[in-house]
A = this chain, B = another copy of it.
């Protein structure tokens, strides 16, 4: 088969279709599809992504055979449009746009009005009898071409334009006279000559090939490359180039250009939603030169075009089975569709659209499940602004929605001010051009972060998400003067202490203090609102119930208290994957006993002290088991180093130094503190994370695990006697060798058998282990001889596999993420080539020894969608996450099944 490089569309048919995104790019495939189903798309052709690689291979040259094919298609376009490219009487004008498989910032975007030169200009003017329009198109061409193809700084064109408007005393481009436009063309041409040493190309074919080449070249520019590396997009994917007949929204009052959505992308409501500008070209909408009107005005202004638009976009939504984001142009009352794609939407909208579309019969449940990004569910649980109050506050600007959540606070401009403000009990929003590692303490102190520059992977965005702080970044409308400590948005001036509110889910910056409140779903879950009064709640859980029918992974919660457990069950937890027992020790009533235990010098005293904790622990476990009913509950034995229960060493040292320096007569107190300090010093460690903790405590202080095992088993026995069914799973932390687990299991089994004997009752229980240090994973075949289950503690496993403490790494981690040394934060999503490799190995080796080994995960990654996909793929039985992440996990676990189904046909 001969190779094909160029695909034609238009005139009611197309050589491509929507499934050909690999070779046509997203935009090209959708243009072909729309053409194919008979929508009015300006005719044109797509140069395929394959050419991009050839272009690079041949040293940035378009191969001759491709050139040939482009000319053939150009001919076809001329025939269909009855116009001729470069013909001075009847000139064909073109747009050139890039279009990769995935939308990608940093690449050359668009050149409009291509094909104009000093001659064709005249033809266009004559043909349209609109000289001003022709000159408007020509000055636009030279400006855009000069900027994106010839790489002349945009600002230089803008300076000329600004000067001209000032001369004429006008504000808006559309007020420019024909005369001014011709002057601009002259000025722009001089600029081009001055910058490049050459004239603006009058040969229209040269224009075309320079533009196509510029698109391909831009595929390899540094920003695009960085973006691909950060987003795992292969370099050899390439971009396509779309060459298309120009249609003009700027021919007069019967013309317009606009963008829209088939449903409301914020709420999900079924309505045509968008905006347009009369007598304008596409870039005017984006550039914000004029204020666009909402689409509903179009119904009044151009009722026929509106009706057609409504009809076309309804068809598109049905055809694509998803809410569409579209672009259109009306040229002299004729509507053209220029683009369609699935529309971005908020979590609220995503759920509503998915459920509505199933109910409307447009899609089935499985399709609905694939339409919602798991993390978007989070938005429905975050605190939100009080909607009624929000209405009364001005929306000041929109930036990138970098880290979700709503926050209000007083403006501060430095990290130090943020920290000081927090100390005074203030809520503050840190506003900066961009943040740096020096700002971390300030970011931590602030309610939210707003930056003027930077993208979704900037320092502020990365750290904001990491800290769970609402953040709006890259908000260009914020004009900041850091020295003077003011910023302007439009005409409004903000100084230190002024109130603003930010909505990180939407990227919104609002004026004043808007109070936040728990989300509607949280109100229902907490019993503060009636479920019947919340359609949102109903939709949310209906949607999740579809996920449950599909997924194979079980979903458990990390929960330490009966209250946590009840919320987890409300979110659909099928068990507890991690109950931390040490949290129970920090209670005011109990801390004295654990301190007593730690300060004991002999084993006997220690045992006596620890046994005072037994009734408390038993009560804890009783409550937890009771809340979870017959769902399994995994309890981890004592994990943190003992010094966490004592005062900090440096605090004691300072206290003592001061006591002594004061020369007051407090000998007894000094002695007591000295003794305490002595013990604290003995226990203190340089690297507590790698110290005497986890099972190492249980091995060296067996009385601790004895007490904990007794408390668990006694609670189970009591509940069993009360007629309940309880399934405790006792989990030993920080195992590195089989022998450690053997040692601890022996104690648990002995205690259990003694108690079952004592109470004359048999109860089920199992003993397993965390896999959270590399050696446990590597020797999993051995460990599985003792372990009835594994649970990956991916927090510690990531820390030890990377040799990085999450607490200490903040400074260099931000650098690593913003510079792409880490493509992702391994503490958020499982590092598949490193930590993941260990996990895979551990599952395989563990099941070789014990085929029915139950394996779960209880690190923070248990709530991360990409990690959940990985857990499914390596055959885990369950994931365990915070109660609030359970919906995410239910959906992600369903999606991976559907994805696999699709892949396997």
Can you report 6 residue pairs joining A to B where beta carbons are below 8 Å apart?
A686-B808, A687-B807, A690-B690, A692-B811, A740-B821, A774-B803
The CA of A261 and the CA of B685, in the complex, are separated in Å by 50
Tell whether, in the assembled complex, residue B691 and residue A809 are in contact, meaning their CB atoms are under 8 Å apart: yes
Q: Which of B743, B820, B831, B837 contacts A739 (CB 8 A)?
A: B820
A590 to chain B, nearest CB (A): 24
Residue of B nearest to A834 (CB): B775
The CA of A628 and the CA of B310, in the complex, are separated in Å by 82
Chain B residues with CB under 8 A of A816:
699
Q: Is A226 an interface residue (CB 8 A)?
A: no
Tell whether, in the assembled complex, residue B691 and residue A734 are in contact, meaning their CB atoms are under 8 Å apart: no
Q: Is A220 an interface residue (CB 8 A)?
A: no
A417 to chain B, nearest CB (A): 16
Q: Is A658 an interface residue (CB 8 A)?
A: yes
Q: Is A287 an interface residue (CB 8 A)?
A: no
Residue of B nearest to A697 (CB): B812
Tell whether, in the assembled complex, residue A800 and residue B779 are in contact, meaning their CB atoms are under 8 Å apart: no
The interface-forming segment of A16-24, A394-402, A513-521, A648-656 is A648-656
Interface centre among A654, A687, A692 (most CB of B within 10 A): A687
Q: Is A91 an interface residue (CB 8 A)?
A: no
The CA of A838 and the CA of B841, in the complex, are separated in Å by 12
Q: Which of B690, B834, B838 contacts A689 (CB 8 A)?
A: B690
A548 to chain B, nearest CB (A): 35
In residues 816-830 of chain A, which contact B (Cβ within 8 Å)?
816, 819-822
The CA of A834 and the CA of B805, in the complex, are separated in Å by 21
The CA of A805 and the CA of B685, in the complex, are separated in Å by 9
Residue of B nearest to A782 (CB): B833
Q: Is A804 an interface residue (CB 8 A)?
A: yes
Q: Is A50 an interface residue (CB 8 A)?
A: no
Q: Which 7 A-B pairs have the closest CB atoms?
A: A773-B803, A690-B805, A691-B808, A685-B808, A775-B834, A687-B805, A650-B650
The CA of A805 and the CA of B736, in the complex, are separated in Å by 13
The answer to whether residues A812 and B690 also contact, given A736-B803, A801-B773 and a CB cut-off of 8 A, is no
Tell whether, in the assembled complex, residue B800 and residue A803 are in contact, meaning their CB atoms are under 8 Å apart: yes
Q: Which of B688, B815, B835 contacts A808 (CB 8 A)?
A: B688
The CA of A775 and the CA of B800, in the complex, are separated in Å by 9
Q: Is A657 an interface residue (CB 8 A)?
A: yes
Chain B residues with CB under 8 A of A699:
812, 815-816, 819, 821
Chain B residues with CB under 8 A of A658:
657-658, 661
Tell whether, in the assembled complex, residue B834 and residue A779 are in contact, meaning their CB atoms are under 8 Å apart: yes
Residue of B nearest to A810 (CB): B692
Q: Is A737 an interface residue (CB 8 A)?
A: yes
The CA of A772 and the CA of B804, in the complex, are separated in Å by 12
0/1 string, A432-461, CB within 8 A of B gives 1: 000000000000000000000000000000
In residues 632-690 of chain A, which contact B (Cβ within 8 Å)?
649-650, 653-654, 657-658, 661-662, 685-690
Q: Is A799 an interface residue (CB 8 A)?
A: yes
Chain B residues with CB under 8 A of A775:
801-803, 831, 834-835
Q: Is A796 an interface residue (CB 8 A)?
A: yes
The CA of A330 and the CA of B111, in the complex, are separated in Å by 112
Residue of B nearest to A652 (CB): B650
The CA of A821 and the CA of B812, in the complex, are separated in Å by 37
The CA of A803 and the CA of B639, in the complex, are separated in Å by 13
Q: Is A904 an interface residue (CB 8 A)?
A: no
The CA of A773 and the CA of B805, in the complex, are separated in Å by 13
Chain B residues with CB under 8 A of A831:
775
0/1 string, A384-428, CB within 8 A of B gives 1: 000000000000000000000000000000000000000000000
Q: Is A700 an interface residue (CB 8 A)?
A: yes
A19 to chain B, nearest CB (A): 34
Tell whether, in the assembled complex, residue B773 and residue A802 are in contact, meaning their CB atoms are under 8 Å apart: yes
A897 to chain B, nearest CB (A): 28
Other A-B contacts than A699-B819, A782-B833, 7 sampled, CB-CB below 8 A, are: A650-B653, A658-B661, A686-B688, A687-B688, A689-B690, A734-B803, A774-B834
Residue of B nearest to A656 (CB): B654
Chain B residues with CB under 8 A of A834:
736-737, 774-775, 778-779
Residue of B nearest to A601 (CB): B438
Chain B residues with CB under 8 A of A801:
773-775, 778, 800
